[in-house]
Chains A and B, each alone.
Chain A
Amino acid sequence: MQPIKTLGRLKRINIEYYGNAHQARQNGKFIAYVNAFTPVELLYAMDVIPVYPENHAAIIGARKQAPEVCEAAEGMGYSGDLCSYARCDLGSIRTGVSPTWGLPKPDLLVISNSQCGTLTKWFEVLSRHYNAPMFLIDVPHSGDGERDIAAESYVRGNLERLIRVVEGITGKPLDPDRLTESIRLSKEASDLWARVLETGAARPAPMTVFDQFISMAPIVAQRGTQVPVDFYGELLVELEDRVANGVGACSDERYRLFWDNLPIWPELRRLSEFLDSRGAALVASVYTWAWSRLAVNEEDPLTDWTNQYLYTANLHLNRRVDEYVEIAKKFQLDGFLYHSNRSCKYVSQDIPEVRRLVSSRTGAPGVILEADHNDSRSYTIERLEDQIGEFLGMLGSGKTRAGAVGPAPS
Chain B
Amino acid sequence: MISTDSWAEFTQSAESPLAPAAQWKQTTGGKVIGHLLPDVPPEIIYAAGALPVALKGAGIPITRAQQHIPGYSCSHAMGLLELGLLDRLGDLDGVVIPYTCDTTRNLFHIWSQRFPNLKNEFLRLPKSVDYDPARAYAAAEFKRLFLSLCAFTDAEPDEAHLNSVIDIYEGARAKLRGLYHQAFDHPAEQRAKYLYAAIQAFSVMPIESFTQTLDQTAWGDAPAADNWIPIYIKGKIMDPPALPELFGELKLKIARDDLVDGYRMIETPAVDGPDPFLRLADRFRNTTPYAGYHIEPRAAAERFLARVKESSAAGVVFLNPQFCEAAGFDTPDFKKTLDGAGIPSLVLETSSRGVSMSRLRLRLEAFREMLEDN
Given A79-B349, A117-B292, A127-B298, CB of A349 within 8 Å of CB of B70: yes
What 1/0 mask marks residues of chain A from 123 to 139 whose CB sits below 8 Å from any chain B CB?
11101100100101010
Q: Indicate if B133 sits at the interface (CB-CB under 8 A).
A: yes
Q: Indicate if A353 sits at the interface (CB-CB under 8 A).
A: yes
B→A interface (CB under 8 Å) = 67-70, 72-73, 99, 101-103, 105-110, 112-113, 121-122, 124-128, 131, 133-134, 136-137, 140-141, 144, 291-292, 294, 296-298, 300-301, 320, 322-323, 325-326, 328-333, 335, 347, 349
List of B residues within 8 angstroms of A113 by Cβ: 127, 294
Q: Indicate if A13 sits at the interface (CB-CB under 8 A).
A: no
Given A79-B349, A128-B301, A140-B124, CB of A345 within 8 Å of CB of B331: no
C-alpha spacing A128/B330, complex, angstroms: 11
B122 engages A150 (CB within 8 Å)? no
B113 engages A317 (CB within 8 Å)? yes
Given A113-B127, A141-B122, A317-B113, CB of A79 within 8 Å of CB of B328: yes
> Which residue in A81, A117, A140 is a CB contact (below 8 Å) of B102?
A117
List of B residues within 8 angstroms of A140 by Cβ: 99, 124-127, 137, 141
A345 engages B325 (CB within 8 Å)? yes
A349 engages B108 (CB within 8 Å)? no
What's the nearest-Cβ distance from chain B to residue A348, in Å? Answer: 6
B105 engages A141 (CB within 8 Å)? yes
Find the B residue at minimum CB distance from A122: B329
Q: Indicate if A408 sits at the interface (CB-CB under 8 A).
A: no
Q: Which 5 A-B pairs have the closest CB atoms?
A: A143-B122, A77-B332, A121-B329, A150-B140, A317-B109
C-alpha spacing A122/B347, complex, angstroms: 19
Find the A residue at minimum CB distance from B66: A352
C-alpha spacing A128/B296, complex, angstroms: 9
A350 engages B325 (CB within 8 Å)? no
C-alpha spacing A352/B131, complex, angstroms: 36
What's the nearest-Cβ distance from chain B to residue A165, in Å? Answer: 12
List of A residues within 8 angstroms of B294 by Cβ: 113, 120, 124, 136, 138
List of B residues within 8 angstroms of A345 by Cβ: 70, 72-73, 102-103, 106, 323, 325
B296 engages A142 (CB within 8 Å)? no
Number of interface residues of A (CB under 8 A): 51
B72 engages A138 (CB within 8 Å)? no
Q: Indicate if A64 sits at the interface (CB-CB under 8 A).
A: no
C-alpha spacing A148/B67, complex, angstroms: 32
Q: Add 7 more A-B contacts to A136-B294, A138-B127 (CB < 8 A).
A: A78-B329, A123-B297, A138-B126, A143-B108, A158-B133, A346-B105, A350-B109
List of A residues within 8 angstroms of B323 by Cβ: 81, 345
What's the nearest-Cβ distance from chain A to residue B64, in Å? Answer: 12
List of A residues within 8 angstroms of B292 by Cβ: 117
B322 engages A81 (CB within 8 Å)? yes
Given A81-B72, A86-B329, CB of A151 within 8 Å of CB of B101: no
Give chain A interface residues in 142-157, CB to chain B under 8 Å: 142-144, 148, 150-151, 153-154, 157
List of A residues within 8 angstroms of B112 by Cβ: 144, 317
Given A81-B328, A140-B124, CB of A128 within 8 Å of CB of B333: yes
B69 engages A143 (CB within 8 Å)? no
List of B residues within 8 angstroms of A353 by Cβ: 68, 109-110, 113
List of B residues within 8 angstroms of A82 by Cβ: 325, 328-329
C-alpha spacing A142/B73, complex, angstroms: 21
List of A residues within 8 angstroms of B110 by Cβ: 317, 349-350, 352-353
> Which residue in B128, B301, B329 is a CB contact (below 8 Å) of A136?
B128
C-alpha spacing A136/B335, complex, angstroms: 24
Given A143-B122, A150-B140, A340-B70, CB of A350 within 8 Å of CB of B106: yes
C-alpha spacing A381/B125, complex, angstroms: 40
List of A residues within 8 angstroms of B291 by Cβ: 121
List of B residues within 8 angstroms of A81 by Cβ: 72, 322-323, 328
